[in-house]
Structure 1
Amino acid sequence: MAKPIYDITPFTLIDYPDKTACIIWFAGCNMRCVYCYNPDIVLGKGKMSFEDVCLFLQKRKNLLDGVVLSGGECTMHKHLKEFIMQIKSMGFLVKIDTNGSNPALMRLLIQEELVDYVSLDFKAPPHLFKEITQSDLYKPFEETLDILSGAALPFEVRTTVHSGLLQKSDLHEMISYLYGKNYKHIFYIQQHINNTRTLGNLAASDNDLDSAMFADELLEVVVRN
């Protein structure tokens, strides 16, 4: 049987807001974002089973607050719901990092109170989405955003920016779109990490953005470096 997990980051203070956590990296993704700096995870095969991860988590009970399910794309994987149920039974909070491509699963996890926080990647506006992600998954992303916006669940929307792919005008368009969707939270802009291998073998990004540039926008925007 194929193993779903590529690796585990045993401790993080920055990936789950205000919580101590570990990160479970799921192998594989249904997008091929050209700026992605996790090509080994996206293209690689899993090395660990759910059972392996549960054994690890048993040793972290009362030491960590939460578990971040990331990737790759964790919502692609079969039996994710059952895996999360095991994590929750050990007393951990669960955060999901997702590209929004599986709205049906997201709706189910929210209904059954199996997720505590979500980071939703807003890859690009519609006219650039296919070029950047190499996928036709914009409509599922929109549906996932609508589900999250209608739920009483903490979540954030974030965008990774490479200056060769997204211009400031594109970001303004994305901010206006989120405002029109009644998004009430902070919109996080993450500048691309240079000097890393990417799926698209991109040149370095200018990384000249800062939060002050977006002070007059309709939403609160925070640039993460």
Structure 2
Amino acid sequence: MRLNYAGIVPISTVDWRGRAAVTIFFRGCPLRCAYCLNHQYLDESKYVELDFVKDQIKKSKPFVSAVVFSGGEPLMQDVIVPLAEFVREMGLAIGIHTNGCYPEMANELIKRKLVDKFFVDIKAPPDNPDLYGKVAGFGEYEAVKKTPEKIITSLIETLEIVDSCGMELELRTTLIRDFIGSREEIASIAAWISENIKNSEVTYVLQQGIPEYSLRESLRETQVLEREELYELGKIAKSFLNDVRIRTKENGEEIIFDSM
């Protein structure tokens, strides 16, 4: 089998908090988020043999406790199943970064006990299809075939599957000034999570988007949201959720202890 492969970080301490992990990047994605930093992975193909990727993981095994599959969108590729089986045989934990568009594959991995933690992007309030579609690139990029409503339906199904099995779950929203991440939008997302996710220990992270590397050129001159601005937005989310964090280039990850 072959994998549409984008690259590897042999030892990462930022892709899974509290663990050293080897991160494998998959090519391809059904969305075209305007702020995407990895847009070079979205369209071009670069297939490699599965054994090549296994060898890369073996080299990192003495130094890590986990493997993270990221992208792009790793759940697009069926090869993730045999690769996850290999990782499990090596005794390493498995984390998956996903946009939630492939609930069937998420369910398959859970049934096979081939995943330990999901990191799921919530691009915008799930009860606002127009805004979700805008962030995901619907109507702007031909590659985005799913309607916003179908994207949200898949996201919700993925979250229900993960939530129902009590698996460790981190939800994440990337914020870009004047594009996504207003006070009202963060309140709406956090309220939705509070109402729809049963696991009260779910982690919600507000990520500082880096506009200069965005897929959409018009965003590249946008001023980065400062740490203090993200902290204030985090306090809004904290009004709804127990575990809220912000993630910035300057300070890394910080826990929000107080709410508005």
TM-score category (smaller protein): over 0.9
Per the alignment, residue 207 of structure 1 pairs with 225
**Counterparts of 2:199 and 2:207 in 1: how far apart (Å)?**
18
Aligned to 2:205, which of 167, 188, 191?
A: 188
TM-score normalised by L of structure 1: 0.92
Q: CA 1:142 to 1:33, structure 2 compared with 1: closer, same or farther past 3 Å?
A: same
Within 5 Å, which residues of 2 pair with 1:22-61?
22-61=22-61
1:1-225 superposed matches below 5 A: 3-125=3-125, 126-127=128-129, 128-133=131-136, 134=138, 135-136=146-147, 137-166=151-180, 167-181=182-196, 182-184=198-200, 185-196=202-213, 198-201=214-217, 202=219, 203-208=221-226, 209-215=229-235, 217-219=239-241, 220-225=243-248
Question: How far did 1:69 drift?
Answer: 0.2
Render the CA deviation track for 1:95-144: whole Å, top value 9, x for unaligned. Answer: 10000011111112112210011100001123311111024211100111
Distance 1:214 1:54, change over 3 A: closer
Shift of 1:52: 0.7
Q: What is the total number of aligned residue pairs between the two structures?
A: 224
Distance 1:180 1:121, change over 3 A: same
In the alignment, structure 2 segments of 5+ residues that lack a partner are: 139-145, 249-260
> Structure 2 length as normaliser, TM-score?
0.81
Q: Which stretch shifts more, 27-36 or 159-168?
A: 159-168
Residue segments in structure 1 that go unaligned for 5+ positions in a row: none
Distance in 2 separating the partners of 1:77 and 1:174: 29
- Cα deviation, 1:193-213, whole Å, max 9, x if unaligned, reads 1432x2111132440423344
2:9 & 2:186 partners in 1: Cα distance? 31
Q: What RMSD over aligned residues (CA atoms) do the two structures have, in Å?
A: 1.8
Query: What residue identity is the alignment partner of 1:81?
Result: V
- Greater mean deviation of Cα atoms: 53-62 or 80-89: 53-62
Structure 1 ranges of 4+ moved more than 6 A: none
2-side partners of 1:207 and 1:56: how far apart? 36
CA contact (8 A) 1:158 1:189 kept: yes
